[in-house]
Amino acid sequence: MENSVHVKEVVVIKPSEPTPSRVLSLSALDSQLFLRFTVEYLFVFKARPGLDQSVITARVKAALAKILVPYYPLAGRVRAKIDGSSLEVVCRAQGAVFMEAVSDHTINDFDRAPRYVTQWRKLLTLSVADVLKGAPPLVVQLTWLRGGDATLGVGLNHSVCDGIGSAEFLNSFAELATSQNRVADLKPKPIWDRHLFYPTKPSRCYYSATHLEFNRVPDLCGFTSRFSNERLAPTSIIFDKRWLNELKRLASSTSRPIGLTYTSYEVLSAHVWRSWARALNLPSNQILKLLFSINIRNRVKPSVPSGYYGNAFVLGCAQTTVKDLAEKGLGYAAMLIKRAKERVDNEYVRSVVESVSQSRACPDSVGVLIMSQWSRLGLERVDFGIGKPVHVGPICSDRYCLVLPVYNQPDAVKVTVAVPASVADKYEYLVKSPCS
């Protein structure tokens, strides 16, 4: 029988103190077309004995009202500027949405991948499809599970904050729910400063040669329609330290030039990318891309100040053909990823800013696997007084690949991605069988 979720309360939470009334411009990076969606986080908590649900609920609501004082743009509403050039936030203390619900899900349901991509959809009942239509950029749902455990679903609009900014916000939000600290005591203090990524000069329109992520490639196999029309099956696989070290060894032994060393993320993303490509059985000459976010806070000059919660990343892009990805070994794929990271410096970032602001450059989806690393954000520390989460992940599984933290295993990561159901078994077999 389908698990049910019953929403008991829906309320708009406004800042607990007066906040500035103004219109704030978002940056060129914030305003990119592919970021105009809501990132939906799911935290699962195992309740300690004797926990009072009403007390926790009251504390979460009070903390939300408090955190919306320093983070007052999250209580505003996002809109497009009249000239359509970028986005802005109208700050009038409109508020965030809080929901409390009960469900007959149990905590054991989250030990494995969901059966289908939307199985946990109702754990964040209000799904904001288009924030530009007046919906709030922040939505929170506390759901009490059968057995007294809990989930917290959080929707944060990507145009307003990136992963690092979201994690800093969530940890500060949780701290206010569990301590006597005042808002003034929070660290880091949130900083707007979106002018750091405003365009400063006319675009030189050379991005097609410099930025592979914006190039269009031919669809030789109905790639886009396949992911749109075929049922997608969620997958979830844990990689421990031993496994990651084995991938590093394999990458180094198949690398050209010899002697290159790789990070855990480089070899993991290379292995997942190769397994995904081989499972899909694509034409050998189909061009594939791996897109992944690169934090630029310390790659630009001057560096971005601590507490900046806007989008401070660009997309790294590794590109090759199906044939080369499959046949040239793990070291080849890891080398492509490493080189994509090394390209990103201050000048590179500035050229991305100009490209996305002047020409509305946007990544295509043909042949693309997008990977996002949530395991290094600090999401596993978010504690609203119930305890640290035993599961952190997305509300809905997607064709985007996420690298997630694993409860009580700091050296391990969990990789989740939804693949066409017809190749799910093959993908899992390949990804669990490291080979060169």
Active-site amino acid positions: 158, 383
Q: What contacts 243, CB < 8 A, 6 or more positions away?
A: 434
Report the first-to-last Cα separation within the chain, whole angstroms: 43
**Looking up tokens 């391990």, which residue turns up?**
412
Give the orientation angle of helix 241-253 with respect to helix 264-280, to 10 degrees.
Answer: 80
Q: What contacts 387, CB < 8 A, 6 or more positions away?
A: 45, 46, 47, 48
Rounded to an integer, what distance in angstroms lies between the CA atom of residue 56 and that of residue 416? 30
Q: What is the dihedral of CA 292, 295, 296, 298, to 10 degrees?
A: -150
Give the orientation angle of helix 330-342 with respect to helix 264-280, to 10 degrees.
Answer: 120
Question: For residue 150, what are its two tokens?
Answer: 């809990």
Please name which of 401, 303, 391 lies closest in space to residue 106, comparing C-alpha atoms. Answer: 391
212-226 in b/e burial notation, b at 16+ Cβ within 10 A?
A: bbbbebebebebeee
C-beta separation of 392 from 386 below 8 A: no
What SS3 class is residue 237? strand
Strand-strand pairing, 368-373 and 401-405: parallel
